[in-house]
């Protein structure tokens, strides 16, 4: 077998030790999972942003809140797909506010602020659920970005150790005799970086996008709470 054939990518993987092959397979599997989550999260965040902008446009158009709530609820019942995250936060707050307001209506000494407090708690709970959904799989991307290079480095170190151990049986060490083992070992580092770099870039980008959506949700909760407070008086 020629040196060129020995140094081909596929030949190096096939001829690698079992541990190095296991490391390569693990890194390739992690990379595939990482890219899957990258694309899924990209579509999810992009959809959440568009739905948030659409609902904010409708909400701040000056329409009646009760009508907006009824329309959002009826649409949600008629279609299988759920509305946007901000719409669900609004529905949670409005539903709780109407429920408390109906329960205390006509009662002497009723606390008008009870409805506002209940609506705020309901919106915060809905907000936490939405943020948990948006943050899903980001921890996996962070782990891939931080751990993959070290896993690849482990495979490289192991491969280089085997390459130098093989030199013990060779009377005259040459570059041609050590090159396949070194190249085989460095493949794991390359694959580790291939898995880590996209994961780190995606994690940083998506974390920034999720933080921006979080700020918009929290701002809406405060502004909507002020509107409900004015309605309660």
pLDDT at 79 over 60: no
Q: Does the structure show a pLDDT above 70 at 81?
A: no
Provide the pLDDT confidence category of residue 210 given band limits of 50, 70 and 90.
very high
The secondary element (H helix, E strand) that includes residue 174 is none
Collect contacts of 152-155 with beta carbons under 8 A, ≥24 apart: 152/23, 152/27, 152/188, 152/189, 152/190, 152/191, 152/192, 152/193, 152/195, 153/188, 153/189, 153/192, 154/23, 154/188, 155/19, 155/20, 155/23, 155/24, 155/27, 155/185, 155/187, 155/188, 155/189, 155/192
Mean pLDDT across 214-231: 90
Mean pLDDT of the chain: 83
Mean pLDDT, rounded, for 195-216: 96
Beta-carbon contacts of residue 200 (< 8 Å; ≥ 6 apart):
141, 145, 146
C-alpha distances (whole Å) from 221 to each of 9, 25, 141, 213, 226 are 55, 47, 30, 12, 9
Mean per-residue pLDDT for 192-216?
95
Q: Is the pTM of this model over 0.85?
A: no
Average pLDDT on 65-83 reads: 67
For residue 68, the model assigns a pLDDT of 84
3-state secondary structure of 49: helix
DSSP state of 105: T
Q: Of 226, 224, 229, which Cα lies nearest the Cα of 65?
A: 224
Contact 58, 147 (CB under 8 A): no
pLDDT band at 21 (very low <50, low <70, confident <90, very high): confident
């Amino acid at each position: 077998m020629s040196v060129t054939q020995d140094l081909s990518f596929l030949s190096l993987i096939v001829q690698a030790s079992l541990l190095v092959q296991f490391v390569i397979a693990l890194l390739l599997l992690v990379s595939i999972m990482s890219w899957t989550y990258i694309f899924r999260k990209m579509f999810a965040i992009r959809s959440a942003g568009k739905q948030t902008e659409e609902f904010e446009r409708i909400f701040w158009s000056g329409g009646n809140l009760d009508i907006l709530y009824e329309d959002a609820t009826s649409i949600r019942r008629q279609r299988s797909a759920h509305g946007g995250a901000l719409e669900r936060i609004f529905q949670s707050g409005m539903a709780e506010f109407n429920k408390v307001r109906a329960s205390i209506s006509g009662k002497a000494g009723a606390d008008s602020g009870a409805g506002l407090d209940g609506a705020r708690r309901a919106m915060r709970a809905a907000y936490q659920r939405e943020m948990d959904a948006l943050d899903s799989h980001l921890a996996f991307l962070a782990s891939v970005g931080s751990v993959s290079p070290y896993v690849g480095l482990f495979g490289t170190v192991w491969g280089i150790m085997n390459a130098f151990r093989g030199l013990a049986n060779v009377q005259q060490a040459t570059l041609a005799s050590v090159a396949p083992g070194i190249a085989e070992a460095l493949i794991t580092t390359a694959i580790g970086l291939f898995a880590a770099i996209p994961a780190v870039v995606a994690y940083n980008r998506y974390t920034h996008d999720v933080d921006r959506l979080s700020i918009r949700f929290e701002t809406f909760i405060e502004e909507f709470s002020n509107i409900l407070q004015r309605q309660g008086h």
